[in-house]
Structure 1
Amino acid sequence: MMRLRPAVPALILLLASFASTQAAESTYTDLDLDKCETLAQGSPDEPGGDWISLKCGGYRNYPVYFDEGDLRQSVYFGHLSQKILDEANETFGPFNHVGKKVEWRIGANGKPYAAILRFFIENVDENSGMPTKASEGQVLVISRVGQPEDKTGCVVGYVDALANPDANILARGIADEMAAGFRCGRDKPDYHGVKGPKAGEPAYVFPTQD
Structure 2
Amino acid sequence: MVAAIILTLPLPAQAGDITSAYTKIDPSDCMVFTTADAANGVPRQAVCPGYGGYPVLILTTADRESVYYGFPPHGEFISRWVSFSAPNRMGGTIEWRVLTEGDRSVPVAAIQRWFIDDPNHSEAAVEVLVVRKVGQIEEWRGCILGYVVATGNADANQKAREIADAKAHENDCRIIDVAIEEGARPLPSITLYGYD
Is 1:124 paired with 2:119?
yes
Q: Give me the whole-angstrom Cα distance separating, in 2, the residues matched to 1:142 and 1:99.
A: 13
**TM norm structure 1:** 0.77
Deviation at 1:94, TM superposition (A): 0.6
Q: 2:170–2:176: 8 Å Cα contact kept in structure 1?
A: no
> Which secondary structure does the structure 1 equivalent of 2:173 belong to?
coil
Deviation at 1:186, TM superposition (A): 4.2
Letter of the 1:204 counterpart: L
Percent identity, please.
Answer: 30
Task: Give per-residue Cα distances to partners, 1:182-201, cap 9 Å, x unaligned.
Answer: 63244363413x34326311
**TM norm structure 2:** 0.83
Q: Give me the whole-angstrom Cα distance separating, in 2, the residues matched to 1:162 and 1:36.
A: 30
Q: Which of 129, 149, 154 is the equivalent residue of 1:140?
A: 129
In the alignment, which residue of structure 2 is the partner of 1:35? 29
Q: Which of 34, 47, 57 is the equivalent residue of 2:39?
A: 47
The equivalences for 1:63-78 within 5 A come to 63-78=55-70
Deviation at 1:36, TM superposition (A): 0.8
Q: 2:64–2:88: 8 Å Cα contact kept in structure 1?
A: yes
CA-atom RMSD in angstroms: 2.3
Q: 1:152–1:184: 8 Å Cα contact kept in structure 2?
A: yes
In the alignment, which residue of structure 2 is the partner of 1:92? 84
Query: Greater share of strand residues, 1 or 2?
Result: 2
Q: Give me the whole-angstrom Cα distance separating, in 1, the residues matched to 2:50 and 2:78.
A: 20
* Structure with the larger RCO, 1 or 2 (CA within 8 Å, 6+ apart): 1
> Which secondary structure does the structure 2 equivalent of 1:172 belong to?
helix
The equivalences for 1:101-120 within 5 A come to 101-109=93-101, 110-120=105-115
Q: Give me the whole-angstrom Cα distance separating, in 2, the residues matched to 1:84 and 1:195.
A: 34
Q: Which runs of 5+ in 2 are unaligned?
A: 1-8
In the alignment, which residue of structure 2 is the partner of 1:129? none
Tell me the number of residue pairs that the alignment of Structure 1 and Structure 2 aligns: 183
Q: 2:11–2:18: 8 Å Cα contact kept in structure 1?
A: no
